[in-house]
Amino acid sequence: MSEGCEVAAGALEPAADDPLFSATDFRTDLDAIDVPTLVIHGDDDQVVPFDVGGKASAARIKNAALKVYPGAPHGITDTHKDQLGADLLEFLNS
């Protein structure tokens, strides 16, 4: 297993044991967001698939910006930290 996969898999462990992780419906919360929002999601996320995660979330949040990381897994805070940091700074400075 590559180091990136180990890090990404390690980031899942706390949530994997929590039944609320998959049982909580946040759709009405997303509908209520009314501030500038950046949604970032990897399109190869095997934990929260892109279509039901980032894509669906961005569609529910008024005027959300969606940034997709091609080939990125669930743990983008570890695997794509430089790109993520740059994208967050760009969004915050816009």
Give the tens place of pLDDT for each residue, 10-49.
455 555 567 776 788 889 999 999 999 999 999 999 988 9
88: pLDDT strictly greater than 60: yes
**What global pTM score does this model have?**
0.77
What is the three-class DSSP state of 65? strand
Which of 32, 52, 34 lies closest to 43, judged by CA? Answer: 52
pLDDT computed for residue 78 by the predictor: 94
pLDDT computed for residue 40 by the predictor: 97
The dihedral through the CA atoms of 86, 3, 55, 29 has a sign that is negative
CA distance between the termini of the chain: 38
Mean pLDDT of 39-61: 95
CATH of 3-92, one of 3.30.365.10, 3.40.50.300, 3.40.50.1820, 1.20.1260.10: 3.40.50.1820
pLDDT computed for residue 23 by the predictor: 81
pLDDT computed for residue 14 by the predictor: 54
Could you tell me which residues come within 8 angstroms of residue 43 by beta carbon, excluding any fewer than 6 positions away?
A: 50, 68, 69, 70, 71, 72
pLDDT computed for residue 24 by the predictor: 83
